[in-house]
Structure 1
Amino acid sequence: MQYPPTKRDTVVDIYHTISVEDPYRWLEDPNAQETQVWSEAQNALTRSFLDSFPKRDFVKQRLTTLMNYPRYGVPQRKGKHYFYTHLAGLQNQPVLKRCTALDGPATVVLDPNRFSSDGTVALENIFFHKDGSLLAYSTSQNGSDWQEIRILQPESGQEYEETLRWCRAPALTWKDDGSGFYYNRYPDPTGLPSDEQSTNMKVYWHRLGTPQSDDILVYERPDAKELHFAPLLTDDQRYLTLHVTHGTDIRSRFYYRDETTGGDFIRLLDDNDAPYTFLGNDGPLFYFLTGYNAPRNRIIAIDITQPEREHWRELVPEQEATLTNALMVNDQFVLCYTRDAHNSLSLYRHDGTFEREIALPMPGTVLDIAGTRAQSELFFGFTSFLAAPTIYRYDFATHTLALVFPDESGFQAEPYETRQIFYTSKDGTRVPMFLTHKKGLVLDGQNPVLLYGYGGFAINMMPSYSPLVVAWLESGGVYALANIRGGFEYGDEWHRAGMLDRKQNVFDDFIAAAEWLIEQHYTNPKRLAIYGGSNGGLLVSACMTQRPELYGAVLASVPVTDMLRFHKFTVGRYWIPEYGNPEASEQEFKTLYAYSPLHNVREQTVYPPTLLLTADTDDRVVPAHAKKFAAALQTANAGEAPILLRIEPKAGHGHGKPLSKQIEELSDLLIFLYKTFEIDPEPQKTD
């Protein structure tokens, strides 16, 4: 394949006396003309490869059909109304609606499809006043992490004049009297270097109907500019609390102040020794989900008048399953546990006594739990590999579970099956993996397999429905999801076994999954594709550079590939707790340098067919990662396999992406696999 010419510069950095070349540093500047010309040429090459597939129209139409069904968000009851999001078929963005009865008519509150003609303005967050008379909502443009907040009266449709800017991962909490709210934001980033734009977060009080310039500063930490503050008023409005985090570190701090007396914030939990999630309070008695002395989490109570650890009370002790989410509803604890990568829901009384388990329809994943302490109903979503998301309501008075919004996808699951297996990784660790495929699969070593993973940041990979996977299954493919270390499936120890100097465990787990699939005759290296996004893009890129002969195709979406410079772009510095710092620590440099995909591309090596996907306005994992990696692979590859780069315009890291762009991207992913594995995706007609 004839690739666009790529310049090699003589840039050299010194890390702890070791010289490291960076010949494609120039690709880091997205505004430079030579970078833009190179990017356009790469996109043109990728388009010529993908668009030449003769069944392209069929693939896109099939995905369009699979994605053309109504989808609903989990309802929230505020005052007399229920609010929920609704995506009707092929709309680009979901619409916010409200109703007085969930089986009755609903009216549109907010339609983000009206914000832009191409669907690239997304509704990101909605913050309701408790009686539903007011809401604040945030939007993002072109997939950016930057968001703007506006305020609306749902009843009248009146929008307030003010717009609140410079928000990223916003948190907002209303005063009961509706006079205003507390929220977090960053200073105006204009003129700041990209890696300093997301520092020095502050908490402000905003009075309704006033300009942002009049907002009152409530809290800041100029001595710790990388801390993130999420404000939350307690239900009794007495305390303003701050959930305090540093980057992607799951450990947290907790501060509060008494709103009746004012004064300074009290740092109740400031050792950053474990995660703490505030659940609610009874006066000075505060309830938390925490991992303190409990790697799989537990529920505790802290009396803030006696905050010393010896006075802490354990309400729900650590279990064998991992406690991954908790909420107080109907004055009870609703606890979501993860056991071998699928969920269960349990109810515990206020004093920590077990009440009952809510029976779920099948092994799968609980999505978004909604309810308040004063309400007697609970809503949650549920999904699995072969079941599109459905919404359920649990009635505490009758202990009954009812389906509110059923699966309207039209997908017929009967011809397929999912099973969970456990395989052994390089160091003897037992790792779970889900396999989904047509029933009666013949284990002849010839099946096309798509192996997916993530492995980082304590993020669980759970069973979920995907039109991409359905299309792959229909064409005879096998879908495998490996629950490798770095996630939180088995608690904090599982996460820590896949971070910092133990990151290689993640790659070893994934490589072992691939080897198991081959040894068990599901497939062979020429028919095995690996796929991951973001940190999962790092995963598949590292596994490909370490074992290029093991795979027949690689799909790396918005990947992190330059592990020596990741912390220099936008929010990359906040990943240091997970990855390490190559400049501050010689040992961490050695660890990162050993697996950094960009720095482990070897000359005259045969690499598998590879499709790298990025987006021009991704301000989380900047496109330079994918561009530099593509340049290195294209230069080094000794084989004939294509190394392609797809750069999405007017898009970001993936959140808020309009449905039309999702269809285009998923079509390209499938076409790359079909073309590489010589699969005909269209069922053959029989006479």
Structure 2
Amino acid sequence: MSDFIQALNRLISMLDDIQPIPSTGKLMNINLIGHFGLNRRLVCTKIAILTVVFLWMSPSISLASDTKVITSKVQKLASKSRNQSINWSTSSYPDSPQVDQIDDYHGQAVADPYRWLEELESQQTVAWAKAQNKLTESLLDHQSIAEIKSNIQAYSNFHTIGALSFRGDYKFYLKGWSGTSTAALFVESIKDGKPRHLAGPDILNKPAKKLTKKPETSKQAEQISGYWPSPDGKHIAVLQSKIGERWGQLLVMDVASGKVLSEISEGITVGLTGISWSRLNKKFLLTRFDAEGKQRRPVNARIEVFKLSDRSLQPVFVPDEKEDRTRLSLGAAMLTDSNRFVVSLRNGSDAQNRIMLMDLDHPKSPALPLFDKLTANRLYLGNKGDQLWFYTDEEAVNGKVVRLDIKQPRKQQVVIPESANPISANSRVGGNALGMFGERIALTYLEAGGYFVKGFDLNGKSIFQFDVPASGSIWGGFRGDPETDDFYYSFLGVGQPSSFYRVDSNGKQTLVAAPELPFDMQITAKRIYVKSTDGAMVPVVIAHRKDLDLSKPKPLFLYGYGGFGWVSFAWYQPHLMEWFARDGIFAVAGVRGGGEYGTPWHEAGVKHNRQNAIDDYVASSEWLIEKGLTSQHQLVANGGSFSGALAASAVAQRPDLYAAAIIDFPILDLIRYVEFGQARFWISELGDPALKDDFEVLLSQSPYHGLSKSKCLPATLVRVGQYDNITTPMHGYKYVAAAQQKRRCEQPVLLDIMEGAGHNYGSNPEEIAHANAVALSFIAAQLARKQSDEKKLTRR
């Protein structure tokens, strides 16, 4: 009997060491040993008893003599299970040759041994990238990926509405699968309410949930990057582009027939080209650019007018030679009751701009300066005749609204004075929500990292106020007709995707459109405050399932951004729903560099102050661990695009805090970043390596240059978009090559090239679900390994 007990105890212990196959949670494909919610030890005990009883009763096995054999077989089984997750110790990285590339910056020699990986289309780079992708695929559990992918697709198997607008007798909106940036433009007659496809990919009849295998390499998919209907709704300008491309084409269409009247295919840039229609519906202004060099960078911005009558294009504003035409961005807005228009001139993503007024009826007349000094940010809100309303933060760090008369532009009247709460108006990457609609001015205010909306009349009298829940944010700004008081906004919540509301002149909100979700999972979110290194209070939004037991640490996914004055928030993402189903927590740290407390918060985290943002991220990580929400064996660091460097720097400085890191389409070479994509527009945030002081800070914080041989970083998955022209894949390529060469640790550094992706996770639900299933499978394998290591240390 003692032999039986001995074998039983050994078998229980060995089974308990087996790495769990990641559970698929809510959708019922539950692996009993791996599911977080079951008593793992009890399940292992039951399996062990059945196994040992079977072996004991077998006439061919002597339990007394073969205990060591049984234990050995179980040990091999446990080892095999671990290796199926990720074979950490025997990973063989593809060869990454180093070249003797030394650059001189301000008298300092800087090595760049992986410069060759900047040539994305060279045979050597293509072969290297394929080998890296193949390695990543070989190390991950394909069954786990397939199951997770299927679940993610279930969480995206519904349509969402975006960019809702009403003009004339029509309602316009983008419609597509949840969690994707690819959507089609639809129009409905308000009279009959029948939807009609107008432009964009016809994807709506393709089910989101289909294949479970990895998709083949895809072509660049088309997307709608913006649309602008005329005031009467009879014509529309639609910007179409391919995923990841910065250049697109503008279609001018007749709404009733759906016929394309004209196509402007040159000089149209995604994210920089804007449209403003004349109130008479016969013409519109647009911003066009030239393409410079091999990278085809947008330069030489100018404003042109398109006339419907003869389909002609004519320049109406060309900046003079003294402007920095390599970084200058322009915006134009027609006044509502004349051919006059406002022009905004801004260098890159700078906070300051200038404003001038021009007249299409007098194109040769000089521009009238309204704000001619680069001392503040100004945003045009609207006009009534010669009276113009602007937002500005000039001599008002929290912002104010002023009114001026065109006849006496120097005499400005403060209509809505600065308050203790900043107006949310200074983000350079979206999220601002303010405007003038009929007799109302609507402003979004920041309060301790959150929001509330206030409505005023045109003289500044407060009319209404309502709060925005911490579980999400207003996205896409306010939309409405400048002639009517009503306006619309889209609320994006972590558990509530893209719901549209109408706000009337008294502030009453009415739900206009919301998706029907094919599942029922209640998500809760709250905002807490963490003290950073220097005492600054960092707002952190924490989201999880309402029924989640928080008495023990849970896997936690920590995201941060901290750039361009954007107020980060938690929004609906299908893969996060799968994360929540697996008992995970999602947190967003509002680090400095963002706009959570207005302009001072933004300025405290950019350029030479960037270390503050990293400190805020690390402090948030420490707090989440100290409060028992997670542990260093369960915390996953995440950043993407501009904030890829934030997460990479945090894990480099404090690798002990994190179990894994997911770095998405990042910018990681901070010395050469200005040479690629649209990054030259980011100089005001990061600094200019051509300036000595900026260079020294950038070099000290550049993740690519700062990799250390002495530190073992967490397991890291770097994900890049196949067609990304914003932060090109070269950043991820060079970082991964350098990290693999310098680190000989058990934790891997892997690369995932997301098929079909631009500056996102893919062009359709299939590709996006696969990319995020790879990431969740990678995380699950690493967390399981960390938990196993922790148990072994506890037993010792």
Shift of 1:276: 0.6
1:683 corresponding residue in structure 2 = none
Indicate yes or no: 2:703 matched with 1:592.
no
Q: Is the 8 A contact 2:725 2:758 kept in 1?
A: yes
Amino acid at match of 1:83: F
2:603 corresponding residue in structure 1 = 496
- 270 and 285 in structure 1: CA distance in 2 versus 1, 3 angstrom threshold: same
Amino acid at match of 1:589: F
Indicate yes or no: 2:708 matched with 1:607.
no
Q: Is the 8 A contact 2:153 2:769 kept in 1?
A: yes
Q: Which has the larger radius of gyration?
A: 2
Indicate yes or no: 2:412 matched with 1:312.
yes
**Deviations 1:332-387 (Å, cap 9, x if unpaired)?**
10112222333222110010110112466776412332112212422211232232
Amino acid at match of 1:289: Y
1:684 corresponding residue in structure 2 = none
- Which ranges of structure 2 fall in alignment gaps of 5 or more residues? 1-90, 207-217, 425-432, 787-796
What SS does structure 2 have at the residue aligned with 1:126?
Answer: strand
CA distance in 1, matches of 2:469, 2:551: 33
Alignment partner of 2:455 out of 347, 351, 376: 347
Which deviates more, 152-161 or 108-117?
108-117
Shift of 1:437: 2.2
What SS does structure 1 have at the residue aligned with 2:225?
Answer: strand
1:253 corresponding residue in structure 2 = 354
What SS does structure 1 have at the residue aligned with 2:100?
Answer: coil
Shift of 1:419: 2.1
Indicate yes or no: 2:172 matched with 1:172.
no
CA distance in 2, matches of 1:288, 1:426: 38
Shift of 1:91: 8.7
* Aligned pairs for 1:97-496 within 5 A: 97-101=186-190, 104-113=193-202, 120-168=221-269, 169-189=272-292, 192-194=293-295, 197-208=297-308, 215-216=314-315, 218-224=317-323, 225=325, 226-262=327-363, 263-308=365-410, 311-324=411-424, 325-358=433-466, 364-368=472-476, 369-396=478-505, 400-414=508-522, 416-439=523-546, 441=548, 446-496=553-603
- 655 and 645 in structure 1: CA distance in 2 versus 1, 3 angstrom threshold: closer
CA distance in 2, matches of 1:523, 1:62: 24
**Deviations 1:208-266 (Å, cap 9, x if unpaired)?**
37677x64453233332121111221111231211221111122211211334331222
Aligned residues: percent identity?
A: 27
**Deviations 1:297-346 (Å, cap 9, x if unpaired)?**
221112232233xx221111222322113111132101122223332221
Shift of 1:445: 6.0
CA distance in 1, matches of 2:526, 2:282: 53
Amino acid at match of 2:576: V
Shift of 1:390: 1.3
- Which ranges of structure 1 fall in alignment gaps of 5 or more residues? 681-687
Which deviates more, 449-458 or 364-373?
364-373
- 314 and 529 in structure 1: CA distance in 2 versus 1, 3 angstrom threshold: same
Instruction: Output the TM-score relative to the length of structure 2.
Output: 0.80
Q: Is the 8 A contact 2:451 2:467 kept in 1?
A: no
Shift of 1:460: 1.1
Amino acid at match of 1:24: Y
2:57 corresponding residue in structure 1 = none
- 242 and 105 in structure 1: CA distance in 2 versus 1, 3 angstrom threshold: same
Q: Is the 8 A contact 1:113 1:119 kept in 2?
A: no
Shift of 1:608: 1.0
CA distance in 2, matches of 1:142, 1:579: 26
2:63 corresponding residue in structure 1 = none
Q: Is the 8 A contact 1:120 1:656 kept in 2?
A: no
Shift of 1:188: 4.6
CA distance in 1, matches of 2:108, 2:404: 50
2:12 corresponding residue in structure 1 = none
Which deviates more, 97-106 or 374-383?
97-106
2:766 corresponding residue in structure 1 = 660
Shift of 1:56: 1.9
Amino acid at match of 2:274: A
CA distance in 2, matches of 1:677, 1:103: 54
Which deviates more, 665-674 or 374-383?
374-383
Which deviates more, 597-606 or 84-93?
84-93
**Deviations 1:271-294 (Å, cap 9, x if unpaired)?**
221111001122332211111122
Q: CA RMSD in A?
A: 2.5
CA distance in 2, matches of 1:209, 1:58: 56
Alignment partner of 2:738 out of 623, 629, 632: 632
Shift of 1:132: 0.7
Q: Is the 8 A contact 1:240 1:256 kept in 2?
A: yes
Shift of 1:647: 1.6
Q: Is the 8 A contact 1:185 1:203 kept in 2?
A: yes
Aligned residues: 670
Amino acid at match of 1:673: I
- 231 and 386 in structure 1: CA distance in 2 versus 1, 3 angstrom threshold: same
Which deviates more, 284-293 or 146-155?
284-293
What SS does structure 1 have at the residue aligned with 2:670?
Answer: coil
Indicate yes or no: 2:740 matched with 1:641.
no
**Deviations 1:449-490 (Å, cap 9, x if unpaired)?**
111100111111023222222111110111111111100111
What SS does structure 2 have at the residue aligned with 1:607?
Answer: coil
Which deviates more, 495-504 or 657-666?
657-666
Q: Is the 8 A contact 1:82 1:102 kept in 2?
A: no
What SS does structure 2 have at the residue aligned with 1:676?
Answer: helix
Q: Is the 8 A contact 2:455 2:507 kept in 1?
A: no
Which deviates more, 327-336 or 623-632?
327-336
Which deviates more, 70-79 or 496-505?
70-79
Q: Is the 8 A contact 2:175 2:185 kept in 1?
A: yes
1:505 corresponding residue in structure 2 = 612
**Deviations 1:417-447 (Å, cap 9, x if unpaired)?**
3222111101111111111224465556642
Indicate yes or no: 2:132 matched with 1:42.
yes
CA distance in 1, matches of 2:559, 2:552: 19
CA distance in 1, matches of 2:335, 2:369: 16
Alignment partner of 1:94 out of 183, 199, 207: 183
Shift of 1:617: 2.2
Q: Is the 8 A contact 2:438 2:481 kept in 1?
A: yes
CA distance in 2, matches of 1:142, 1:231: 26
Which deviates more, 483-492 or 279-288?
279-288
Shift of 1:125: 0.7
Q: Is the 8 A contact 1:92 1:113 kept in 2?
A: no
- 600 and 91 in structure 1: CA distance in 2 versus 1, 3 angstrom threshold: closer
2:50 corresponding residue in structure 1 = none
Q: Is the 8 A contact 2:593 2:602 kept in 1?
A: yes
CA distance in 1, matches of 2:650, 2:473: 28
Indicate yes or no: 2:609 matched with 1:525.
no
What SS does structure 2 have at the residue aligned with 1:54?
Answer: helix
Amino acid at match of 2:415: L
- 459 and 357 in structure 1: CA distance in 2 versus 1, 3 angstrom threshold: same
Shift of 1:153: 0.4
CA distance in 2, matches of 1:107, 1:633: 51
